[in-house]
């Protein structure tokens, strides 16, 4: 009987700990100089949705996320 009284709180504690959501540290994405130049050129020429994705150096979503361009 005494073992059950000790085991129940331990099981509950393990359950609570396993249910806690782990928070992952956020990593800030960076772009190379070439990617930044590609974002700037596409933004200035208005080709974010067409030419930028064709070239494949950087995606428009990455330009938007990091530089706030091509959104």
* Contact in structure between 63 and 41 (CB atoms under 8 Å): no
Which residue, 29, 40, 32, 27, is CA-closest to 66? 29
| CA dihedral sign, ordered 41, 38, 42, 51 | positive
- Where do we find the tokens 């091509």? 70
Q: What mean pLDDT comes out for the span 67-71?
A: 86
pLDDT value of position 47: 86
C-alpha 71/C-alpha 68 separation (Å) is 7
What is the per-residue pLDDT across 8-66, written as a single tens digit (0 to 9) for each?
888 877 777 777 666 666 667 888 999 999 999 999 988 888 888 788 888 888 888 88
Taking the whole predicted model, whether its pTM rises above 0.75 is answered as no
């Amino acid at each position: 009987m005494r073992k059950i009284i000790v085991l129940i709180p331990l099981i509950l504690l393990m359950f609570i700990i396993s249910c806690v959501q782990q928070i992952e540290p956020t990593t800030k994405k960076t772009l190379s100089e070439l990617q930044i130049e590609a974002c700037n050129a596409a933004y200035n020429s208005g080709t974010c949705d067409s030419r930028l994705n064709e070239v494949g150096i950087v995606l428009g979503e990455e330009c938007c996320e990091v530089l706030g361009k091509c959104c």
